[in-house]
Structure 1
Amino acid sequence: MNAIAVKNSVTLETLYEINESSEEQIKAAFSNAREGFQQLKKTTVKERVEALKKVRDVIYENREKIVDKVILETGKSRTDALVSEAMGVLDYADWLIANAPKILADEKAHTPISLMGKKSKIYHEALGVVLIIAPWNYPFNIAMVSILTALAAGNAVVFKPSEITPLNGLIEEMMSASPLLTSSVNVVYGSGITAQRLIDQRPAKIFFTGSARTGKKILSQAANYLIPVELELGGKDQMVVFDDVNIDRTVAGCLWGAMTNAGQSCTSVERVYVQRGIYQAFVDKLKEECAKLVLNAGDDGGADIGGITADFQLDIIRKQVEDARAAGASIIAGGEMLSGELPFYLPTIIENATTDMAVMSEETFGPVITVSPFTTEQEVIDESNNTEFGLSASVWSKDLVRADRVARALEVGAVSINNVMLTEGNPALPFGGTKQSGFGRVKGVEGLRGMTQSKAILVDKQSDKLEANWYPYTRAKYKLFSQFIEALFGNKGLQKWIKFAVSGIKLESESQKPRG
């Protein structure tokens, strides 16, 4: 059984080892999950919400412990870990607890006049055992948001964390607050090999967050089994800045949006487009404020930016910046490692980058932004949409009508206006992308119902009447159906309802006659 070393991402010290899960362990996890699902099927949404409250309270009580563990494995700054990991989960859990019963309740549906006397309903039912595969950049937040959503909807879960930041035992500890949920969540450790084996167990649905490259592999394997998949993949998020903004505030938003979690977020700002009237003033302020950022990890809350979690990601960042420099781009801030051997990459600002450079066309996933000037609204829309990604964006302008117009024109799944990465901060909003950024949504009504399957219900009364569309078909019935259709769809106003009533009565009467 292959051992995988989990390291302190800053010191590179081995914290512990996990083993690649065996076929037997994976089959056992699914067997346990299926048993757990049978228990969940007997519960109401209200009962599951009560169980979620216990987990939510344990997360709150252990938030500093969670932060400590996340920092060790990711290298995040302490404030990043507290706000994005612990607080983000608590906020979402509260929304889920308050709203899940209403969202998952049986719905009344419209019944057309042609089906008079009948009632229509929609049930939102659990899928079964779902597979959740989480990334290394937000190992607690993304894991818990997905797991809690699945459980609220009544699904059992098999969960595979990233082998880079598995948070060994932490998810299990949080779920142990509720016996019902403990038996319904099975954590399986390992690499991509384990993920492949998990898919072969044919879960009811797969929820994957990670790179586009891995997402395509998962989609391909799942297609063999016709397993539905939701993919939240990479981004190359744009920030569009018009010349009527407050420069100080907008620069502050830009820096946080680009550098939070050392830029290791799929929705980090990576491309900044600034209208020419304020371009130079904006760049000057951006460079000035960038120089003030504090890099550290294992801090007490005073550092702005932590380290780069994965060594292969550091290689990507360095290569993109060096290639841009060699191709003629101007590195006006950063562009190198912090002195020493620790994995800290200086916040980097690049001018004169072109679309043929990887730093403009590929996801960087690091503390790096490109800044480009634009003149007209249509120009910046066309330029910022010129990417294979479409996750999220931000638009900055005092003119909210213009900002809304541009937001509608951007080919992305979410837009923050005069703020940055804030759509993720509202649990009621769906989160997901377009194009190569994936499909499907998490959070909000759409995200919760994405963990369910809809069942259509039509209720009729018991009686001795036969339906008009049932056999036997006769020439007389055909003629009456034609009159019925003409009355229903070919007339308007009072005349429609009179003809409908007359033709309907005749058609129903004819339908009760036995075949002659």
Structure 2
Amino acid sequence: MNTPDEFKPRPRDNVLPYEAEVARMAFTNARTALRAHSQLSTKERLAELSKLKQTILAHRSMIIARVMEEVGKCRTDALVAEVLGTLDWLNWLEKNAQRLLKPEKVKTPITLLGKQSLLLHEPLGVVLIICPWNYPFHNAITGIAASFVTGNAVVYKPSEHAPCKGLIEQVLACSSVLQSLVRVVYGAGSLGSALIEQQPAKIFFTGSGPTGSKIMAQASRELIPVELELGGKDPMIVFADAPMARSVAGALWGGFTNAGQSCSGVERLLVEHSVQDRFVDSLVKEAQKLVVRVGDNGDADVGRMTVGFQRDKVIEHVQDALNLGARLRFGAVPSANSLTVQPIILDRVTPAMRVWNEETFGPVLPVMAFTSEAHAIELANDTHYGLCASVFTADKQRALRVAGALEVGGVSINNVNMSEGNPGLPFGGAKKSGFGKLRGPEGLLGFTRSKAVLIDKAGSKIEANWYPYTPRKFKLFERFIQALYGPRRLRLLAIAWHGLRLEAFSQKPRK
């Protein structure tokens, strides 16, 4: 019989010999280092991360300059997103990691009376972290720090489009332990494939959906677990009762921060129909004040885009929208010869336009009106993405109601991108925005393997559920289960009575 194409064996990924050797050496060195440092306690690892935190703080100007040069961020974006966000995460680990990673006592049910239960959080081994180009420092250190403090070693591959070569190694040089346990490698997607061939304990990937799909397919061949943080088409919903000035300011920053190259940035702006015209007019007025410039001294709002192919997608999406009847309220179709893109605002947008249903990942705000709360939720959820969302309203109950109905991983109420800003909250998406979490307790424990431990006393006692099985024991078990779970007065007395009879009978030898 013919096999459908999707089930036919696929050829191995095209990996160059030198890439295979780079990957092999990275994992060999990481595994050797892990064996050498496997006895480090969480407290000792946190001491090394404290050195890293102080190093980042002391060398923030150098980090900002490198990121600005390579990625094109404005200076304030680089300071806040790359430096502050990273320090915040390291600080959270210092305060919480020891508590979260210590063995947990778990309540033991009455059916296991006399026993103790523990949950251990153990390292995975050598993990592979692959990061994108939009936040090259913050994404790298966030994953590396979480992996390191949980007891793992790391092979880290940055995007070839913004590798910031040597930057991560430079800050990790503050600690010989970090230097040993973190191996940084540089290369294109084929190197990523070579790294997966080395069978990491787990893969943590942040980036595009198509690349995430390829990584997952390759990892599945060896049953390697993966966590994927992929794209977004995040909606911002503005109700008529929301404060106008704050909502406009939030939309501008949410849509244009990092030149729109943020997976949790605002990509769809939904405004209640009764205030839409006034809102868009105000949005345009405030957008006119934005300063767009490369290499600023802290006096610019938006820098340049990072890569040409992303700028080209902005051109395609905006041109498609205009061809289908959208109105250009601010900005212009970008030039194909420059990475500096003026922020763009579009209204009269419809769901048929690519700018509304595909991830743009650039400084473009498409606006659409909604007529009711239910309509807003319907429009917001009408996408295969589900990363984050924002809801602006003066009605707290409505805000919580809408937040609960949105099919996303995080919601900011009367703010934008801030569910991601708290290091104590997990960050990750739903639907095709990926699965798994970064940050927060859930994200930290994603770098561990849980081990269940049950402790019993040493002695001669025979367990009730062990052999021999007899009709008499069956009846005693039935009565004990009925006492445990059935409706009955004097339940505790009944449980004790039938439990003791079962225990006593279980100690008798088989005749």
TM-score category (smaller protein): over 0.9
Are 1:499 and 2:486 counterparts?
A: no
d(CA) in 1 for partners of 2:17, 2:57: 31
Q: Is 2:169 the counterpart of 1:172? A: yes
| Amino acid corresponding to residue 345 of structure 1 in structure 2 | V
1:418 Cα deviation after fit: 0.3
User: Which position in structure 1 is the counterpart of 2:13?
Assistant: none
Which structure 2 residue ranges, 5 or more long, are not aligned? 1-15
Report Cα offsets for 1:4-34 as digits up to 9, x if no partner.
Answer: xxxxxxxxxxxxxxx9962222111101111
Segments of structure 1 that go 5 or more residues without pairing to the other structure are 1-18
**Corresponding residue of 1:5:** none
In the alignment, is residue 373 of structure 1 matched against residue 372 of structure 2? Answer: no
Give the one of 1, 11, 33 matched to 2:30. Answer: 33
Residue from 331, 350, 353 that aligns with 1:354: 350
1:24-423 paired onto structure 2 within 5 Å: 24-337=21-334, 341-423=337-419
Which amino acid is 1:268 matched to?
Answer: G
Deviation sequence 1:243-302 (CA, Å, 0-9, x none): 111111110110000000000000110111111221111110001111111111111111
Partners of 1:141 and 1:390 in 2: how far apart? 22
Task: Give CA deviations for 1:164-220 in whole Å, capped at 9, x if unaligned.
Answer: 111111111111111111110000110000000000100000000000010000000
The offset of 1:372, in angstroms, is 1.0
User: 1:467 is matched with which residue: 451, 459, 463?
Assistant: 463
Length, aligned pairs only: 496
SS in 1 for 2:505: helix
| TM-score normalised by length of structure 2 | 0.95
Matched, 1:480 2:476: yes
Structure 1 runs, 4 residues or longer, greater than 2 Å off:
19-22, 335-338
Structure 1 range deviating more: 244-253 or 231-240: 244-253
Letter in 2 for 1:57: Q
User: What do residues 390-410 of structure 1 show as CA deviations (whole Å, max 9, x unaligned)?
Assistant: 000000001111111001000
**Distance in 2 between residues matched to 1:471 and 1:491, nearest whole Å:** 30
Q: Secondary structure at the match of 2:420?
A: helix
2-structure distance, mates of 1:349, 1:365: 14
Q: Per the alignment, in what secondary structure is the counterpart of residue 297 of structure 2?
A: coil
Q: Is the 8 A contact 1:21 1:190 kept in 2?
A: no
- For the 8 Å contact 2:319–2:333, the answer to whether it is kept is no
8 Å contact 1:20–1:191 — kept in the other structure? no
Separation in 2, partners of 1:191, 1:283: 42
Q: Does residue 453 of structure 1 match 2:444?
A: no
d(CA) in 1 for partners of 2:499, 2:380: 57
Contact 1:20 1:194 in 2 (8 A): no
TM-score (norm 1): 0.95
Query: Is the 1:313–1:365 Cα contact (8 Å) retained in structure 2?
Result: yes
Match of 1:9 in 2: none
CA RMSD of aligned residues (A): 1.3
Q: CA separation in 2, counterparts of 1:223 and 1:335? A: 44
Q: Is the 8 A contact 1:259 1:347 kept in 2?
A: yes
CA shift, 1:492, in A, is: 4.1
User: Residues 237 and 82 from structure 1, CA distance in 2 versus in 1: closer, same or farther, beyond 3 angstroms?
Assistant: same
* Mapped contact 2:314–2:334 kept (Cα < 8 A): no
From 437, 443, 446, the counterpart of 1:441: 437
> How far off its partner does 1:491 sit?
3.5
For 1:497, the aligned partner's letter is L
Amino acid paired to 2:491 = K
- For the Cα contact (< 8 Å) 1:124–1:449, is it kept in 2? yes
Q: Distance in 1 between the 2:174 and 2:270 partners?
A: 47
Paired AA for residue 110 in structure 1: K
On the 8 A contact 1:237/1:391 being kept in 2, the answer is yes
Q: For 1:173, what is the secondary structure of its paired residue?
A: helix
- The alpha carbon displacement at 1:430 in A equals 0.4
Paired position in structure 2 for 1:8: none
1:277 and 1:23 map into 2 onto residues whose CA distance is 60
Q: Which amino acid in the other structure matches residue 510 of structure 1?
A: F
- What secondary structure sits across from 2:426 in the alignment? coil
Counterparts in 2 of 1:181 and 1:492: CA distance versus 1, 3 Å: farther
